[in-house]
Amino acid sequence: MKKILVATDFSACATNAMEYAMELAKVLHAEVCALHAIGSFEGVFNNTYNALYIEDYHNSKRAALARWAASFTARDEYSAVPVTTFCEVGSVSSLIAKYTDANPVELLVMGTMGSSGIAGLFGSNASTMVEKTKIPTLIIPLESKFSIRPTITLATDFSSDSNLSAEDVNALKELVLAFGSEKLNVVHILESPEWKTNEAGEASLRKLIDSTELDFKYIQEGSPIEGIINFIVSSETDILCVVKRHHNIVYRIFNTSTVNKVMARAIKAILVLHA
């Protein structure tokens, strides 16, 4: 993995996400880029700055981002991690798209307030990027902390995994290999009382993810969200991986109406992969 992009609004959840990304970069030997979006009208109507001095205001924001990033590289544990910054005027989503178009980003990291129930602007941006981007995206709730030996769980409905992009498969494989995980939990929620396994789906996933043992779990639960959340707790999962389909066909627990509920309730990192 070459580069991790971290979007920040300087909040507590962004700081937590940056710390998680820095720890991850150490394990993956990756570079980190901190990105901050300046609102189109920021500074224009500010009491201190007006349109005549807007460039000074923009430069002050760039300097603030550089200081924020430097506060991490100044720590002994992060001194070896290369960190750059990117700060321009625009929306968070447009700047992420602009940066990723020009740079080989392999993982986007964003923070959310998680189970605190306070979504805020940054939580909304995280949800937006989950819907828009095709880059593997790691969502870090405020309660989630980095684990050097994480329990990783892939939630699947067996219908979209075979269509995962090579980039997403590689991202998942790199995480599993870097952490030295002896196994990857694969959980499938059965909403009907009829119990059945999916041997063809299991074989397909084993072929895609051949870097570790896959431990398949079938759980009967009336709600996919409840089933996933309960499994996270019972299995002590540290990173939950989900597959999102594009073309407006979204994996059941990550559709437009429920993505906020999952991220609001989850207290562990969520890696969103794409099909």
Q: Taking residues 184-189, report their average pLDDT.
A: 90
| Confidence label for 130 from pLDDT (cuts 50, 70 and 90) | low
CA–CA distance, 5 with 12 (Å, rounded to integer): 17
Rounded mean pLDDT of 167-194?
A: 84
pTM for this prediction: 0.85
CB 130 within 8 A of CB 272: yes
Report the alpha-carbon angle 11-15-19, nearest 5: 170
Q: How confident is the model at residue 162 (pLDDT cuts 50, 70, 90)?
A: low
Domains in the chain with CATH codes: 3-141 (3.40.50.620), 152-274 (3.40.50.620)
C-alpha 148 chain-centroid distance: 17
* Helix, strand, coil percent values for the chain (each to nearest 5): 45, 25, 35
Residue 16: band (very low, low, confident or very high) from pLDDT cuts 50, 70, 90: very high
The pLDDT assigned to 176 comes to 87
Mean pLDDT of 181-188: 89
Three-state SS annotation for 32-43: EEEEEEECCCCC
